[in-house]
Amino acid sequence: MKRVAVIEGDGAAPEAVRPSLTLIDKLGIDLEWVYPPVGDTGMAAHGSAFPPAARAIIDTADATLFGATSGASAAALFYLRWGKQTYANVRPIRYCVGFESPLARPAGIDFVIVRENLEDLYVGVEGDVTDLAPLKLQSVTSRRAVTEMAPGAFALKVITERGSERVARFACELARRRKSLGRPGRVTCATKHNMLPRSDGLFRAVAERVAKQYPDIEFESYIVDDFARRLVAEPTALDVVLLPNLYGDVLSDAAAGLIGGLGLAPSACYGDTYAYFEPAHGTAPDLAGQNAINPTATLLSASMMLGYLGYGDAARRLIVAIEQLYAERQIRTRDQGGTATTTEFCDALAEKLVH
């Protein structure tokens, strides 16, 4: 039996997570759901949004399924990400018939963004420009002392060789697996190395070096602004996209827009010894209590989790049922141009799973 920690999250996220668990239970696999006391629950029971009891449950689980957080559950998310060193954020972008894409010809869009998940500007070090005075830094572009720009603020961007190497290797391994399934077997890396030769330049150089160890995999590299154009103009040409943290965060949301929005975009964060799974969308507080959130992203994230846990057949059953439901174009949630509630969508999906 596999054990999954469930963190329902905030806003409307629990309204997508709860019926998703019910649907997974219908797959007939041996899973145990456990619930860490985090956020408001943790505060009420333990006086902490992330008490030791919650950490213990996560540590003894085989994976975590997370809804979405707007603050209350953030401490748990930080632990899942930085504490468990889940360095590869994987965001599949795949069009299915029936998705409400804004594109005239979305068929064939099927790529995966692999985003470095721990470094870059997300190390969270910021301060006042005057704090940099002891370093006597000079702007490369203006040739002026950085402190002359005060008043102002700075943020620290950190790219490490180890962090770049492991996520690049993850991307190459993923491209190799996809190639075995008929995909091109190509890694596309995008950075701003022309303006940031030390940081983004390092990420690109390490990615290139790692890719050379995979002669069966194609590797290409673009400046990130040019890649943004290619993402929109030629999405069907992409296979595995490797990005530093910030660019991956921004462009994966844009990529979700190609197929029909964040309600359709799953996500997973993998480390060497742990993984957690969550939809790419946020908490949708405007939908809270309305039974209106689209659970598709949560369900597809759950299917990724099932694959990770070794339940590949169950994962495929869930994906096929979702594809069939969308292809019929009868039951669609509000974000997909329909009127179905979350409950109605999940009930229709349950019928697909049963039959």
The model's pLDDT over 152-180, given as tens digits with 9 standing for 90+, comes to: 999 999 999 999 999 999 999 999 999 99
| DSSP β-ladder status, 275-277 and 63-66 | parallel
Structure confidence at residue 280 as a pLDDT band (50, 70, 90): very high
Structure confidence at residue 72 as a pLDDT band (50, 70, 90): confident
| DSSP β-ladder status, 110-116 and 88-94 | antiparallel
Q: What is the pLDDT of residue 212?
A: 99
Strand partners, 155: 126
Q: What is the pLDDT of residue 160?
A: 99
* Mean predicted confidence (pLDDT) in 11-25: 95
Percent of the chain residues topping a pLDDT of 90: 95
Q: What is the pLDDT of residue 71?
A: 79
Q: What is the pLDDT of residue 270?
A: 99
Q: What is the 8-class DSSP label of residue 61?
A: S
- Burial pattern 141-170, b for ≥16 Cβ within 10 A else e, equals eeeeebbeeeeeebeebebbeebbebbbbb
> Distance from CA of residue 7 to its chain's centroid?
16
Would you list the DSSP string of 243-306? E-HHHHHHHHHHHHHHHT-GGG---EEE-SS-EEE--SS---GGGTTTT----HHHHHHHHHHH
Q: What is the 8-class DSSP label of residue 73?
A: T
Whether residue 187 contacts residue 218, with contact meaning beta carbons closer than 8 Å, is answered with yes
Q: What is the pLDDT of residue 286?
A: 86
The model's pLDDT over 112-150, given as tens digits with 9 standing for 90+, comes to: 999 999 999 999 999 999 999 999 999 999 999 999 999
* Mean predicted confidence (pLDDT) in 283-307: 95
Model confidence at 187: pLDDT above 90: yes
What is the rounded average pLDDT for all residues in the chain? 96
Give all domains of the chain, ordered by start, each with its CATH number.
1-97+263-355 (3.40.718.10), 101-120+158-259 (3.40.50), 125-156 (no CATH)
Model confidence at 355: pLDDT above 80: no
